[in-house]
């Protein structure tokens, strides 16, 4: 697969991932953490704000592909 096509597909996947993840994380926080103190909200959003990086790293690794050794 050409590199440009992999980059395009990966970009679209990452954008969709971030949008879906943000909606799910925020709706979960609204439903489950509504009565919790502010520091629980802070801890949740720090943790969930960093968690999306893991699947994004996999997509970026796929986009980069494997390098051929000479």
In tens, the pLDDT along 12-58 reads 999 999 999 999 999 998 888 888 999 999 999 999 999 999 999 99
Does 3 score more than 90 pLDDT? no
Q: What's the average model confidence in pLDDT over 59-63?
A: 91
Q: Which two tokens stand for residue 22?
A: 């943000």
Q: How far apart are CA 16 and CA 42, in angstroms?
A: 25
Close Cβ partners of 65 (under 8 Å, ≥ 6 residues apart): 3, 6
Q: Are 18 and 51 in contact (CB under 8 A)?
A: no
Q: How far apart are CA 12 and CA 69, in angstroms?
A: 29
Q: Which two tokens stand for residue 65?
A: 């592909």
């Amino acid at each position: 697969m050409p590199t440009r096509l992999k980059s395009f597909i990966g970009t679209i996947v990452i954008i969709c991932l971030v949008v879906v993840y943000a909606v799910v994380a925020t709706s979960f926080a609204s439903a489950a953490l509504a009565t919790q103190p502010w520091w629980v909200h802070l801890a949740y959003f720090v943790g969930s704000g960093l968690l999306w990086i893991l699947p994004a790293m996999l997509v970026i690794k796929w986009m980069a592909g494997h390098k051929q050794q000479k």
